[in-house]
Structure 1
Amino acid sequence: MEDQAPEHEADTDEAMETTKVDTLKERKVSWAKLRRVDSLNMEAGNVSNVQSHDNSKVDWRMTLLLAYQSVGVIYGDIGTSPLYVYSSTFTNKIPNTDDILGVLSLIIYTIILSPMLKYVFIVLRANDNGDGGTFALYSLICRYAKVSLLPNHQAEDKELSNYRLETPSNRLGRATKVKAKLEKSKVAPIVLLLLTVLGTSMVIGDGILTPAISVLSAVGGIKESAKSLNQDAIVGISVLILICLFSAQRFGTDKVGYSFAPIILIWFSVIGGIGIYNLFKHDIKILRAFNPIYIIDYFKRNGKDGYISLGGVVLCITGTEAMFADLGHFSVRAVQISFSGVVFPSLLCAYIGQAAYLTKFPENVADTFYKSIPHAMYWPTFVVAVAASIIASQAMISGSFAIISQALSLGCFPRVKVVHTSTKYEGQVYIPELNYMIMTCSILVTVAFRTTEKIGHAYGIAVVAVMAITTHLTSLIMLIIWKISVWKIILFYMVFATLELTYLSSVLSKFVQGGYLPLAFSFCLMTMMGIWHYVYRGRYMFELKNKVSSSFMKDLVKNQYINRVPGIGFLYSELVEGIPPIFPHFISNIPSIHSVLVFVSIKHIPISKVLMEERFLFRQVEPRDYRMFRCVVRYGYKDAIQPSEEFERQLIQNLIEFVRHEYFFFEGNTTEQTTNDDARLAHSGILVKERDVSESGASKVHSEPPRVSSGSIRPRSSNGIISCPIQGATEEMEFIQRAAGDGVVYLLGETDVIAEPKSSIFKRIIVNYIYYFLRRNFRQGEKALLIPQSKLLRVGMTYEI
């Protein structure tokens, strides 16, 4: 399935090119109209032609290298599932040897349908410019339909390079109708966000349970040679390994995971080879399980018990979601090659071989994996199994870090420290607070449950729930974005939703035996994330409702008692439209303003990465001689906040270029004057040339002609706060450069959020107590934004929502 409909592709491209030309011709008129709107449209046309993040178009050598690396990162979880699938399925003795055929047939077709057909060939295509996961699906939907609960949409965002343009097709009308219904609905945005948050919670639950079940099952094999060790000793050894595993997380996935790709390759070779050995040694007739009739016979024979046993069968696809969640580190083709060429055949051989062994020794089902190993291969296999289980845990833990860092960008999680551990792969992060939380929970699960059978009851719910959420979100993407035929969407949904809901209902039947655990984790996380996002949105709506009026700014300039002090001030706010209410509160307490003031708004866009050339979006606060600017700094959910020194340099360079363009836009300077000003600025070291800026990663100097306004605002002097009238572009840029030399001060709003007095008791508890507790016990704003204390000035204010 393709994400774009192929119909009339040539005509579409021609039409799009014609539209772009017409748009450029009409830009004189459009800019004048956009100036009347309170938005940042002045820089909307400054879009780079840099290609979007797409790691699928690489040569075959790089693809094979990525496929090799993906083996060590993605497949540790699904690769270690043969350690415990049969023991979790047959929790008691095997009542009938024919049941082995039925369970093996279930395993074979579950692997074929879910990881192979659904993920490898369909879901991987639903990536967000090369990035995958629940938030990638949500970001795609938010980009094509205004279903985000935070009302900070801007027309300029659609001009970013990583935004994909819609391709007209014969199914566009249907998709437009569905999109319109979603945007008008009050329930749909909430449901979509809840599904995304639930998926996030389940992934974290998976990250808690995977280390526990993988390490415990691998270490449990030592009992075959060390009979004196009891279960207490196994649990103790497992806990020590878990502590070492989580302690090593600070080194990053790049160092911890990638170096173990050879071990995972050896692991798949070992389990595949042992499977083939057992097949030919014990019972080659077990290959009859490829006939799905044995599945029907199995359910006829076992009834309710067969249905409940599905909770163990589903563990054969644990870690499938990691193929999609970790896609941003590799490519679609690399994952397809590695799974189809290495993982899929090895897993089938392993399960078939174990089934052949069980036909002769059904009494050994509790330790199927280690009992079926040839004696000479026991110790090498045990060592590789322990190493593989550690790597399996690493993959899901890293996935939890990545998905929480994405949740932060949507305002769905309290501020935590995010450490980027790799300069090569931006998506690899480490979150200390989350790491210790997962470690504590994983150790508690290991000590409390003690056996893989009990943990498996809980594990299945987390696995299937995430897959079911992915199915629903992918179906919606097929409908409104891919615009494929309805019958294909119905077929996809019916097949995979039926499969996953059947498995989910089975594992939920073991709720009391341990299935409650991931639901409890998810409930706590969803409650925390939901409360945080609710107050986060309420705070934004308060700022939007109480933003500073133009009359206040006009009165401000006439105030004789407000002074301009040297330097540049960055006043932070999350408001992207207008000036935040914290500004008049600041003026009333400290009647001084820096000679250059920038209202900085950090905005997270529903795309994976924003190119550096498109990060800063400026508009000047009128009249121009205030020397006040609004700046929206746009980040994708995988972009890292820069350190203060780099951030200052980039913002000031982009501000200087904006002033240069703005001056010629208003004053209509001639080309000769432009050349003279460029020479003067270059001589003074202020003008940022395009080649220099490109190398440093800041905004490019665009070569488009000066924009013409419908009217001109003439510079003027004032007896109020304006200290120096505007004289020309050169003088203004020199003024900003001198102000930067005087120092930069960060003005951060220290806003306390409380519920309105007329609010209900429930709302007051949520806002005044729970949110307050979360805010005080997680990182503060200046730490999350990497603002140094020596440059920070706090401004306190209380918002009533």
Structure 2
Amino acid sequence: MGERKMSRFDSLDLESNKLKSDNGHSIKDASWAMILTLAFQSIGVVFGDLGTSPLYVYSSTFPNGAKHKDDIIGVLSLIYYTITLMPVIKYVFIVLRANDNGNGGTFALYSLLCRNVKIGLIPNQEKEDKEVGQYQIHTTKTGRSGCSLKVQNTLENSVFAKYTLLFATILAVSLVIGDGVLTPCISVLSAAGGIKGASDKFTDDMVVWISVAILIFLFLMQSFGTDKVGYSFAPILCIWFICNAIIGIFNFCKHDWGVIKAVNPWHIVEYFQRNGKDGWVSLGGMVLCITGTEALFADVGHFSVKSIQVSMSAVVYPAVILQYSGQAAYLSKHPEDVATAFYKAIPDPVYWPMFVIAVLAAIIASQAMISGTFSIIHQSLALGCFPRVKVVHTSSKYEGQVYIPELNYLLMFACVCVTLGFGTSTHIGNAYGIAVVFAETLTSFFMVLVMLLIWKTHILLVLLYICCIMSVELIYLSAVLYKFPSGGYLPIAFACVLMAIMFTWNYAYRKTYYYELHNKVSSDKVCEIVDQSNLCRIPGMAIFYSELVHGIPPIFEYYVGNIRALHSVLVFTSIKSLPISKVPAEERFLFRRVHPKELVFRCVVRYGYTDVPDRQDGFEAVLIEELKQFVLGNRRVKVEPVEESNDRICEDDDDNIGNREVGIIDEASRLGVVHMIGESQVIAGKESGIIKKVVINYGYSFLKRNVRKSDEVFGIPRTRFLKVGMTYEL
């Protein structure tokens, strides 16, 4: 029996690896046709924000105009090396390698660290969950030494360090989502502002309302999915990058090809020598040239590492460098036009075509952060760090492409409010940089841990990364924090609200899970309950839903103690999401018999990323059929507990008994199936402090009342749904 079980788990392992290679995530031998297809799509989704930054970087860097021609050269040199260091070297060729099963973002880095080092505070890292999940983990086998070992021991032995890492993760995620609110606003406002160059009749208020209409249209398109949106937007972005490159070359040749000397980094030193504090403050506007790079990492789950590397190296990087160079060449002759440098540098014959393309590109620029936000929230749901929301998988080919309706409309509302409130891209720019640089600095912090603890990078290379990349980010961070009173408080305030929601939910979620885990009903106890002579057995089948994959939740004993009746067939069911693309149908249901004589069973149902759960009627029919096969001996897959237990497993091969039990199951399903979900109400214990009482009794209770209910998540028909309530005192 044990050997048979292991072979079935192994078959899942092999199948999941095969499927992961089919969808092109994290597999070295993925076909180039797949890579180039994803690279084309990624241009329309990932790089819009980075590609439209030339619309507003120079105006944000020189809000009061450029004082000296050499200042333009110094800023161009800063742009050259900032783009090369951050998006290209750091993200495209270093950070993207730290993806977790094809997923990117700060949560992916945190999950990757938790799987290799014992620092996790999330329930799905428990041994029981890993045993049933059979995660595709590539942990480091060899030992650590020196600095790496010291860091590991410090993190594993410090509760404070564990909470600090979780805090940093949630902070970074909240900042990225805050960035997702500001990105559409500044991109669309900057592009729409070009219409004022056509006629004095167009006022700032008209530009604002045009931008609001464009933003609403953009968010309404999200329901079509990243796949369709990417194919629709990619040709437009390709045209945008080609036009930017051509116009950049035109201005470079026509006005001042001497700006090429900006490749000499000494001009950066001279820029700061001339401008002192003003030069340092200007970094707050200059940093906008790397907006969207954190989304680039978060969006890797929608595509693949190689595809993003190809599109960045071959298309995006050359185009933006040429555009910034062309603008600098134009400004060297016309420094008074710095506020509208992008549109002023466009030749008159192609002004209107470029305006149309710029507006379309600005719409698309918002897609990177929106898609990245969806991916981040999807990961946070799996880690129990976000309230329940509906997640729609929009592609049958690419596992990471998801759409979250509630979040989409929340972002739309926030973007409209920010656009109406700030009114101009310059004002939004003051708020924009903090979220970008703060999130990127936190990513570097996690990358240092990944290098030390997982990749085992030589300490000198780690120090080189800190000196060349992380130190630059800290300098930029100090500059953007200077803009805090001028609007920089907005993303921080937004991040604080999100952090409060995520921490409240995660804290109560973990407390509830561990309460059930420590107070679970053993299989022996279940047998005693079922065998009680004064317990009424009624015809029909009952399916109890629980998050525990081992043991029965305490709410079952509470239910029996008050109702004193049980159905003739009982199935305790847990639904588990695995970090693989698909789970084969024959491997989806894992059964174990709890009672040696009565029809009481334990079932774990496993789904992959791209598996779409059946409608409840279909799920119910499949579960019943798999249960009958298990009883007959054709699906004898048992769920072994990780620790020793007295769970009883029946191995009766008597065909007559099996057929009789199948008949009982058929009769029970015909008489009716009742779906039961435990809806626990959690309250803080009497000895708890005031903060814990506020978080659990008010914060968590409010969130739970206003998010999707369990029956909505599982799709349970209301006519056959029974909710069992119990109060947990944590």
Same fold (TM over 0.5): yes
Matches of 1:427 and 1:355 in 2, distance apart?
39
Contact in 2 for aligned 1:162/1:609 (Cα 8 Å): no
Alignment correspondent of 1:310? 283
Matches of 1:246 and 1:710 in 2, distance apart?
54
Match of 1:797, as an amino acid?
A: M
Matches of 1:701 and 1:59 in 2, distance apart?
36
Alignment correspondent of 2:350? 377
Report the CA distance shift for 1:138/1:642 in structure 2 as closer, same or farther (over 3 A): farther
The counterpart of 1:111, out of the listed 60, 68, 83, is 83
Q: What are the residue-to-residue correspondences of 1:631-642 with 2, within 5 Å?
A: 631-634=603-606, 641-642=613-614
Matches of 1:528 and 1:436 in 2, distance apart?
18
The counterpart of 1:547, out of the listed 499, 520, 523, is 520
CA displacement, residues 315-369 of structure 1 (integer Å, 9 cap, x when unaligned): 1111112222121232222111111000000000000000000000000000000
Please state if 1:584 is matched with 2:557. yes
Alignment correspondent of 1:511? 484
The counterpart of 2:68, out of the listed 93, 96, 113, is 96
Please state if 1:624 is matched with 2:596. yes
Report the CA distance shift for 1:498/1:158 in structure 2 as closer, same or farther (over 3 A): farther
Please state if 1:126 is matched with 2:55. no
Give the deviation of 1:83 after TM superposition: 0.2
Give the deviation of 1:379 after TM superposition: 0.2
SS across alignment from 1:239 = helix
Alignment correspondent of 2:678? 749
Matches of 1:610 and 1:644 in 2, distance apart?
19
CA displacement, residues 30-73 of structure 1 (integer Å, 9 cap, x when unaligned): x9xxxxxxxx9998666442142241432222222221121111
Of 540-549 and 197-206, the range deviating more from structure 2: 540-549
Q: What are the residue-to-residue correspondences of 1:146-161 with 2, within 5 Å?
A: 146-151=118-123, 153-154=126-127, 157=130
The counterpart of 1:222, out of the listed 173, 176, 195, is 195
Alignment correspondent of 1:453? 426
SS across alignment from 2:679 = strand
CA displacement, residues 379-403 of structure 1 (integer Å, 9 cap, x when unaligned): 0000000001111112211221221
Give the deviation of 1:158 after TM superposition: 5.7
Matches of 2:562 and 2:132 in 1, distance apart?
40
Alignment correspondent of 2:174? 201
The counterpart of 2:333, out of the listed 360, 363, 376, is 360
Alignment correspondent of 1:682? none
The counterpart of 1:765, out of the listed 686, 689, 694, is 694
Report the CA distance shift for 1:614/1:362 in structure 2 as closer, same or farther (over 3 A): farther
Please state if 1:338 is matched with 2:311. yes
CA displacement, residues 226-271 of structure 1 (integer Å, 9 cap, x when unaligned): 2221111111111111122222222222233321211000000111
Q: How many residues are treated as equivalent by the alignment? A: 714
Give the gaps of 5 or more residues in structure 1.
Answer: 1-23, 32-39, 662-686, 689-699, 703-708, 717-724
CA displacement, residues 706-749 of structure 1 (integer Å, 9 cap, x when unaligned): xxx99997899xxxxxxxx9965555455545544544321011
Identity level (%): 53
Please state if 1:563 is matched with 2:536. yes
CA displacement, residues 751-787 of structure 1 (integer Å, 9 cap, x when unaligned): 2111222322332222222222111122111112222
Matches of 2:68 and 2:649 in 1, distance apart?
89
Report the CA distance shift for 1:162/1:542 in structure 2 as closer, same or farther (over 3 A): closer
Give the deviation of 1:542 after TM superposition: 2.0
Alignment correspondent of 2:642? none
Give the deviation of 1:313 after TM superposition: 1.0
Alignment correspondent of 1:49? 14
Please state if 1:245 is matched with 2:218. yes
Give the deviation of 1:429 after TM superposition: 2.5
Matches of 2:720 and 2:336 in 1, distance apart?
70
CA displacement, residues 537-565 of structure 1 (integer Å, 9 cap, x when unaligned): 11112212322245633432331232333
The counterpart of 2:704, out of the listed 750, 760, 775, is 775
Report the CA distance shift for 1:534/1:637 in structure 2 as closer, same or farther (over 3 A): farther
The counterpart of 2:300, out of the listed 318, 322, 327, is 327
Match of 1:134, as an amino acid?
A: T
Of 76-85 and 175-184, the range deviating more from structure 2: 175-184
Report the CA distance shift for 1:477/1:66 in structure 2 as closer, same or farther (over 3 A): same
Of 170-179 and 750-759, the range deviating more from structure 2: 170-179
Match of 1:751, as an amino acid?
A: S
Matches of 2:576 and 2:499 in 1, distance apart?
23
Give the deviation of 1:637 after TM superposition: 7.0
Contact in 2 for aligned 1:220/1:234 (Cα 8 Å): yes
SS across alignment from 2:102 = coil
CA displacement, residues 118-165 of structure 1 (integer Å, 9 cap, x when unaligned): 111111111222222222222212222333223451267268665234
Alignment correspondent of 1:792? 721
SS across alignment from 2:351 = helix
Matches of 1:222 and 1:410 in 2, distance apart?
45
SS across alignment from 1:187 = helix
Of 334-343 and 397-406, the range deviating more from structure 2: 397-406
SS across alignment from 1:80 = helix
Alignment correspondent of 1:68? 40
Of 160-169 and 80-89, the range deviating more from structure 2: 160-169
SS across alignment from 2:574 = strand
Matches of 1:377 and 1:738 in 2, distance apart?
75
Match of 1:259, as an amino acid?
A: S
Report the CA distance shift for 1:534/1:156 in structure 2 as closer, same or farther (over 3 A): closer
Please state if 1:83 is matched with 2:55. yes
Alignment correspondent of 1:264? 237
Give the gaps of 5 or more residues in structure 2.
Answer: 639-644
Contact in 2 for aligned 1:461/1:515 (Cα 8 Å): yes
Contact in 1 for aligned 2:394/2:403 (Cα 8 Å): yes
CA displacement, residues 639-662 of structure 1 (integer Å, 9 cap, x when unaligned): 65543234334544554455456x
Matches of 1:270 and 1:491 in 2, distance apart?
37
Of 496-505 and 547-556, the range deviating more from structure 2: 547-556
Report the CA distance shift for 1:476/1:734 in structure 2 as closer, same or farther (over 3 A): farther
Match of 2:396, as an amino acid?
A: T
SS across alignment from 1:484 = coil
Matches of 2:404 and 2:646 in 1, distance apart?
51
- Give me the TM-score of the superposition, normalised by structure 2: 0.91
Matches of 1:83 and 1:156 in 2, distance apart?
49
Matches of 1:203 and 1:116 in 2, distance apart?
19
Of 376-385 and 652-661, the range deviating more from structure 2: 652-661
Matches of 1:492 and 1:638 in 2, distance apart?
36
Alignment correspondent of 2:641? none
